[in-house]
Amino acid sequence: MLPILLKIRLTTMAMAGWTTVAAPVPLPLDAVTLAYQARAATPVEVKLYDENLHVSATVLIDHLGNSDEATTKEIRHLFRCRVTNHERPIARRSLMMLADVAEMYEGRTIEFVSVYRVQRGESLTSPHRDGRAIDFRIRGVQLRTIRDYLWSKYTEVGVGWYPSEQFIHMDTRPTMHDTSWTFLKGKNHYNPYWAELARQPQPVLQARRGGV
Ligand SMILES: [Zn+2]
Is 124 inside any structural domain? yes
Rounded distance from Cα 132 to ligand 1 centre (Å): 9
Q: Near ion ligand 1, which residues have CB within 5 Å?
A: 133, 135, 169
The answer to the question of residue 29 being in a domain is: no
CA of 27 relative to ligand 1 center, distance in Å = 43
Task: Tell whether 101 is covered by a domain.
Answer: yes
Query: Across the strands, what pairs with 157?
Result: 172
For 83-131, the pLDDT digits (tens) are 999 999 999 999 999 999 999 999 999 999 999 999 999 999 999 999 9
Distance 169 CA to ligand 1 centre (A): 4
pLDDT tens by residue, the chain, 212 residues: 444 444 444 444 444 444 444 556 667 778 888 888 888 888 999 999 999 999 999 999 999 999 999 999 999 999 999 999 999 999 999 999 999 999 999 999 999 999 999 999 999 999 999 999 999 999 999 999 999 999 999 999 999 999 999 999 999 999 999 999 999 999 999 999 999 999 998 766 666 666 54
Number of independent structural domains in the chain: 1
In a domain, 16, yes or no: no
Output the CA 41–ligand 1 centroid distance in Å. Answer: 28
* Per-residue confidence (pLDDT) for residue 53, from 0 to 100: 96
Based on C-alpha coordinates, what's the Rg of the chain?
A: 21
Distance 65 CA to ligand 1 centre (A): 19
90 contacts 76 by C-beta, under 8 angstroms: yes
Structural domain range at position 154: 43-208
Query: Which pLDDT value is given to residue 128?
Result: 98
Is 11 within a domain?
no
Give dist(CA 95, CA 97) in Å, integer.
5
The rounded Å distance from CA 113 to ligand 1 centre is 9
27 found inside a domain: no
**Model-level pTM?**
0.81
Give residue 30's pLDDT. Answer: 84
**126 alpha carbon to ligand 1 midpoint, in Å?**
8
Q: Please tell me the distance between residue 135's alpha carbon and the centre of ligand 1 in angstroms.
A: 5
Q: Is residue 35 part of a domain?
A: no
Residue 73 pLDDT: 98
Q: Is there a domain that residue 57 lies in?
A: yes
The confidence score (pLDDT) of residue 26 equals 67
Strands (E), the chain: 43-50, 55-62, 109-114, 133-138, 157-162, 167-172, 179-184, 187-190
